[in-house]
Chain A
């Protein structure tokens, strides 16, 4: 089945640091990737939709200058949390979608970000 690799799985860093998370589709080309944030014991909140070769579309309330998204190729999207603060600590999950209609999203294993 389709595999999405997300790296790193866990990051612990100091306040003010910028953190980059990578999302790769390993065996298919993903024109669209999605970035989610999940708070403990809650559902996933869509942050942005990343389209290859174009600017990401951010959901209402998500700061695009805080959460930089780059989708430079059909197999790689990156999320950079700039100048991270403790309130940015969360579980971040990416997903990638096969081409074509009604194709499911395949999810990475998530990144646990802890800002001290």
Chain B
């Protein structure tokens, strides 16, 4: 079955530090990969996505590259801010050959990020 594994948290950084949150996956078919962010008491917001191998998703200074050879989709940001403090979820949506998408998301366990001034 499909699964997503994220690095253990919580992650605590100082402002302007470099961020990496590791994410690896196992899936049948040709998955699309996503990073979602959840701020306290809120739902999830799509941060970025990649739909095929070697695609790079980017948004708000965050980046992640779809690496099929290592089945990874690590999230990076060069300089974090206090406002980036949130829970980050890596997720995949499996896609069959031919492009038919299941639509269902499989989530990683989430990584809590806290950024101090």
Interface residues of A (CB under 8 A from B): 4, 6, 32, 34, 41-44, 46, 49, 93, 95, 97, 101-110, 112
Contact = CB atoms under 8 A, between A and B. Distances in A.
Interface string B98-116: 0111011101111010000
A41 B104 CA distance: 21
A101 B101 contact: yes
Given A43-B109, A102-B32, A107-B43, A34 B89 contact: no
The secondary-structure label for the interface of chain B is strand
A6 B89 contact: no
Interface in B65-89: 89
Interface residues of B, number: 25
9 shortest interchain CB distances as A-B pairs: A107-B43, A107-B44, A109-B43, A110-B43, A101-B101, A102-B51, A43-B107, A102-B32, A101-B99
Considering residues A103, A104, A106, A108, which has the most beta carbons from chain B within 10 angstroms of its beta carbon?
A104
Interface string B32-62: 1010100001111110010100000000000
A11 to B, nearest CB: 14
A107 B45 contact: yes
Contacts, number: 61
Contacts of A103: 101
A44 B109 contact: no
A102 B109 contact: no
Contacts of A95: 43-44, 105
Nearest to B42: A109
Nearest to A106: B46
B95 interface: yes
A93 B95 contact: no
A50 to B, nearest CB: 11
Contacts of A104: 32, 34, 46, 49, 93
B106 to A, nearest CB: 8
Considering residues B51, B89, B104, which has the most beta carbons from chain A within 10 angstroms of its beta carbon?
B104
